[in-house]
Amino acid sequence: MLDANIVIFFHGLGISAPAWRKLVVFLNYILPVVLAGVTISVWWHLQKRRRFNALLLLVLILSVSYLVNRFFGALYFRARPFVTIGFIPFVSPPSVLKSFPSEHATLAAAGAVWLWKFGHKKSAIWGGILAFCIGILRVFVGVHYPSDVIAGWVLGMVISALTLKIWKRYIL
């Protein structure tokens, strides 16, 4: 119930403040691109001998995070808030109607953990801020409940940490 109330609050805020809604919708689309740009920049500035392993690990972390996210989504289906509450989201409705866990939040958190491992302190902080904002924006635009986003963040961080640990122990 709290989940739905938070979504309804954000939706009402977006309806009452059209300029704010436009900004949030814009950020919803641009922040994942910014996070990808920060990740590419960090990768590019790595020592050449570390680039290949870092890229392989990034692809592995994102792939495993995506697959585990899909597994949990199939295990526990929850419809998106705009379907269950009955409103029009502020972005084009996603073709996939599963809400739990948030793929955007999962992949953003996974990318932030990679930045923490391979980037310097500033890029790790920016990665965390961007992952947080990406998740919050998914609630604001009406395509996720807050618990979907929290589950996505936790899932992305845990999968990334486990992948890093396994990589370090068995691969490097």
- CA neighbor of 97 nearest in space, from 148, 24, 154: 148
CATH superfamily name and code, 2-171: Phosphatidic acid phosphatase type 2/haloperoxidase (1.20.144.10)
pTM recorded for the entire structure? 0.89
- Report the b/e string of 4-35 with b at 16+ CB within 10 A: eebbeebbeebeeeeeebeebbebbeebbeeb
Q: By the 8 A CB rule, do 113 and 167 touch?
A: no
pLDDT digits (tens, 9 = 90+) for 24-48: 899 999 999 999 989 888 888 888 8
The answer to whether 43 and 118 are in contact (CB under 8 A) is yes
pLDDT in tens, 113-156: 999 988 888 888 999 999 999 999 999 998 999 999 999 999 99
